[in-house]
Amino acid sequence: MIAVFDSGVGGLSVWREIVRELPGLPTVYLADQAHIPYGPRPLEEVRRFAEGITHFLLAQGAQVVVLACNTASAAALHHLRALFPQVPFVGMEPAVKPAAQRTRNGRVGVIATPATFQGELFASLLERFARDVRVIPQVCPGLVEAVEAGALDTPETEALLRACLEPLLAAGIDELVLGCTHYPFLRPLIERIVGPGVEIIDPAPAVARQVRRVLSSAGFQPSGTNFSARSPHPSPGPSLLPNLVRERGGERGGVLLRPKAAATPPFPFLPPPSAAMGEGDKEEWGQMLALGFQPAVQAEQVFYTTGDPAQFAAALERLVGVRAAVRPVCWVGEEIKIPCGG
């Protein structure tokens, strides 16, 4: 089981990529909304939260733990690896390396929380990968709270983003690193503000690939062709259909699928059709079913929050298109208990 945690809903941007990369594998997600936001808190306090959460997730059967929070990674990643040497951990770090490699003018902006910039991890990234690049850190107050509230495209959120991004644009950046897992949910608004001349880098897909590598190195062999029934990526992409050739055609000029000449069963599994699918997706799904594909067996996806389960469930559906029950858990001292008070 893959365990993912964050202070709130931001880590869902990472969870989404993990499910896309490793569909069919069970996951457990914990949102510590009782303590959100982590960003302004002292690193030692965040470290204690991360330790308590890790104990809880291991008790749920976690085999790898993903810190889907830049602040928690900066505060606690090294501490957790030392405290639980038998457990593989995957953390977040601002994508300074690819930004430094891709910049054309040597100016890179990073938006994140104060704690992310305070940690040794960020200083190490600058030392290792950005000696010849000007990296401009920018704290963005209020954005985490805006995403938690579902205010993804409001005038108030746009004003917060403009106040955050305008100094970076004035400095002439051509690369912008999203250094908080909440920020990818604001990407359309960010793109509208920065324009096409600035490349936006979200590290979540790279983190998902790292989770695959960690599982493989630990002896697990995750299948890249088993879809989760709750995958938030309902339309399989070409990379997930190695045995098919896509052709234009059909009554509406849609995509036709036929097996490659050398294709042999078993074919990949299909996610079930969902209300989120467009007409083209449904047509493609029917063609694949006719070719011998089979609907996937549902992987277990469990969600916990130390906050309001109803609010988190609404955010889960709004942000990643997943409708699921969310279980409440509570902090008792420095431990998480389920059920609350237990």
Question: What pLDDT is stored for residue 339 in this prediction?
Answer: 78
Helices and strands in the chain, H and E counts: 12, 16
What would the pLDDT profile of 240-286 be if each residue is shown by its tens digit? 333 343 433 333 333 333 333 333 333 344 555 555 566 776 677 66
β-partners of residue 31 are 6, 305
Fold match flag (2-92+205-222+299-337 vs 96-202): yes
- What is the CATH code for 2-92+205-222+299-337? 3.40.50.1860
The dihedral formed by the CA atoms of 189, 192, 195 and 200, expressed in degrees to the nearest 10: 20
> Is the CATH number 3.40.50.1860 carried by domain 96-202?
yes
The domain limits of the chain are 2-92+205-222+299-337, 96-202, 238-295
Regions of the chain where pLDDT drops below 50: 224-269, 294-297
Question: What pLDDT is stored for residue 127 in this prediction?
Answer: 86
Question: What pLDDT is stored for residue 216 in this prediction?
Answer: 87
Question: What pLDDT is stored for residue 298 in this prediction?
Answer: 52
User: What is the pTM for the complete model shown?
Assistant: 0.77
Residue entry with tokens 């409440």: 328
Question: What pLDDT is stored for residue 24 in this prediction?
Answer: 79
Active-site annotation, residues: 69, 180
Question: What pLDDT is stored for residue 225 in this prediction?
Answer: 38
Q: Is the peptide bond before 40 cis (omega within 30 degrees of 0)?
A: no
Question: What pLDDT is stored for residue 282 in this prediction?
Answer: 67
How far apart CA 22 and CA 194 sit, in angstroms, is: 32
Cβ atoms of 27 and 302 closer than 8 Å:
yes
Question: What pLDDT is stored for residue 274 in this prediction?
Answer: 54
Question: What pLDDT is stored for residue 90 in this prediction?
Answer: 96
